[in-house]
Structure 1
Amino acid sequence: MNDAHTKRRRRDLIVAAVLALLAACAPLVVKDVYIQNIMVLTLMYAALSQAWNILGGYCGQISLGHALYFGLGAYTTALLFTKFGVLPWFGMLGGGVLSALIALGLGYPTFRLRGHYFVIATIVIAEIALLLFLNWDWAGAALGIDIPVRGDSWAKFQFTRSKLPYFYFALAFCCVAFLITWWLEDSKWGYWWRAVKDNPDAAESLGVVVFNSKMGAAAVSAFLTAIGGAFYAQFVSYIDPDSVMTFQFSLLMALPAVLGGIGTLWGPVLGAAILIPLTELTRSYIGGSGRGVDLILYGTVIVVIALARPEGLIGLFSRKPAPKGVPQ
């Protein structure tokens, strides 16, 4: 590995550490609860988009059904807590493991599909899961689950007086997702995924186990996505199928990576930092008109960014193309 590549990776870590430190200090300045809420959602979606980017960006398997894993994480945590009194931390890990196993099970047939057929399959599977949960009485069906509040506690991961604990967890979650991606990017798996994305047939001829590499990416991506779903369930204290498993969530995980720079380390972070505040602010300040002005503005910005920077916003910071085979 050349010195420039090593320096760049070290620089990525230093920049990430500085940004994380600045973010940790932000609540000391920003006291508005609404803005703090936006910051929590921004960090959460940055991590979720990073998770999606592992499968959709690096491996090239575009999934529009990640709401399935998000919902599984939320429901596993909520059900274990409300039905059996299991602490959310264990439910969070359980939801992650369950989602990873389901991703492996679903990957066995779907990874034999290519291109738009795979995309359609992921959408259909997620919609089937949504319908199942809408009619599953034990899980609350369409009424959902109201998570009881039992006092502020890190053990129960519930806080009613302040959003700061949620903010710092979301920040930690975002940092962990970033570090995992940073490590995987330069690992054997990272190079395998990029080879599979560019040309799976050529990669297989060179000894890459294409099917196994896709399965690995799906498992890691699903696990991290479920962790985000579990966090969201605790954050809002109420879930139903429409609030955690709709197609909207799948899009909100994919869009930051796509607009920030798909298959790049910083793309999901940059995309989320722009898209999520834009979504929340336009909905709050001009969405009340009932005329869809917020959606028009939001859609216009997305189209402009996509046309101006097809490679993603990360291209604004790229001085020159990276050598072939070296991650962006």
Structure 2
Amino acid sequence: MSSVHYFQRYSQPENVATNNTLHLLSRLYQQSPNKFKGFLNELLGDTDLEAGILFHQQIKGKGSIPDGNLSQSSFKVAIETKLHQNFSLQQLTSHLNSFSNEEHKILLSLSPQFPSLHLKNQIESNVHSFNITNNVSIKYFPTTFQQIVEKFNNILEDYDFELQQLIDDFESYCIHDKLITDSEYRMRAVTCGWTLDENFEYSLYYDNVSDGYSEHSYVGIYSKKSIRGIGKLTNIIEADLVGGVLNIKKSLQTPTQAQKQNIIDVIAAAKTNNNWDISKSHNFFCVDKFYRTDFKKETKYPLQGTKFFNLKKELNLTTLPSTEKIAELLKKETW
């Protein structure tokens, strides 16, 4: 897992989580102020914030009509981040004093899970009292790191490759630091048009070690605008084949004899079928079995690299059934 990351790892303080989130939003704004506006409005419940410079022609002023105007709507989002749900009512209430003359004033709490309903009601009551006492209009919104990822993804197009890499790495960071914990429902879709038959035959997917990976429980193998198979991960093995001997370098579980034989066989198949040498520096993602499915991609562009799906959300389920059943359900869905 040595790929380059956009976001800081290996540290858990709240300021790191806040800094990484602000860095994500900063990069989005640099790429597209319009997408940044769309993200904020979706995250904050269609607040209709104007983010960026506004251009107007011939708007009447006091006693004159300029030919044009450049203006910028003012807003402030005060963010309080917690790595758990232990928000302090007093601390959040004190943040209400940080606003001044902004047109839109928003207090945002960010954490892995939403505050309890009791705490949320208390915060909203304090905000309401503060607004009445000070004749202001501050809105309170709780959100989660998972919601940041979902709302960010919602405003992206298929061709936003750099932003897709950015949000994938932010999600990976959040999962690494336990800010998002949905790995048991995550399917990693991977492109394998040249190797699809091998993937089915040997019940594994392989990738260069340097490409890295983030936590997931299912692998979806993609070819020709559709995910053609899905398997549940049973092991991830880094292995080298030298002189006919398989050297296991890393393994999540004790490799079974079948897994080791499948790796040996797929190394030979990759060389025979595609002239690829995967005998060194590769990870082998072993599954119980790849079940055939047809989870079609309806949008214009083909899959670039990898994409993650939360299967519970894709299938609108509270618990996941067997992998074979998931494969059947995905045939009825598109993405």
TM-score relative to the length of structure 1:
0.24
Structure in which a larger fraction of residues adopt helix: 1
For the pair shown, which has the larger CA radius of gyration, 1 or 2? 2
| Larger RCO (alpha carbons 8 Å, 6+ apart) | 1
Structure in which a larger fraction of residues adopt strand: 2
